């Protein structure tokens, strides 16, 4: 070993001093550089893991929200269909009522017009009877050449009308 030390010119004191210096540098680097760096990297790793967990929770909430949205949309569509069916049924019922009322109104108008026609017909018949009575009276006067008094005139008209029926 001595020959090695002499061949390489190794000084033991210098070697020990260099080892002590190396240990001091390693210690300083460990405490002032490596340890804080490891602490920062560990905190960063925790933040990343927390962010990943948060992202998973958010994704799960998003999926749940999407499912709730689809369910609510389906329910809204069902309710809209029910409302549309009710509205259609009410519109149909209203239409039927309006048709029924229109028919009733038309029937009432027709009945009113029939009644008016009957009244007009009766009036026309009365007028015709009066005219016929007047004509019969006039013709009788000419035939008899004398005027009969009002009572005899009425009796004669009634008798003629009764015979004509």
Tell me which H or E stretch contains 89.
Answer: helix 35-144
Summarised one tens digit per residue, pLDDT across range 71-128 is: 999 999 999 999 999 999 999 999 999 999 999 999 999 999 999 999 999 999 988 8
Cα-trace Rg, the chain: 63
**pTM of this prediction?**
0.41
User: How far from chain centre, in Å, is Cα 116?
Assistant: 50
Left (φ > 0), alpha (ψ -120 to 50) or beta: where does 147 sit? beta
pLDDT digits (tens, 9 = 90+) for 67-83: 999 999 999 999 999 99
């Amino acid at each position: 070993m001595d020959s090695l030390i002499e061949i390489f010119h190794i000084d033991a004191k210098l070697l020990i001093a260099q080892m002590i210096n190396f240990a001091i540098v390693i210690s300083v680097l460990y405490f002032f550089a490596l340890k804080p760096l490891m602490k920062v990297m560990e905190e960063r790793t925790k933040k990343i893991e927390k962010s990943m967990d948060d992202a998973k929770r958010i994704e799960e909430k998003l999926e749940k929200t999407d499912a709730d949205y689809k369910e609510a949309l389906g329910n809204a569509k069902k309710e809209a269909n029910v409302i549309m069916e009710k509205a259609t049924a009410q519109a149909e019922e209203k239409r039927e009522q309006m048709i029924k009322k229109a028919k009733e109104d038309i029937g009432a108008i027709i009945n009113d017009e029939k009644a008016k026609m009957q009244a007009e017909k009766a009036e026309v018949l009365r007028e015709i009877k009066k005219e016929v009575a007047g004509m019969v009276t006039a013709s009788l006067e000419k035939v008899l050449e004398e005027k009969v008094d009002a009572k005899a005139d009425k009796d004669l008209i009634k008798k003629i009308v009764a015979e004509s029926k």
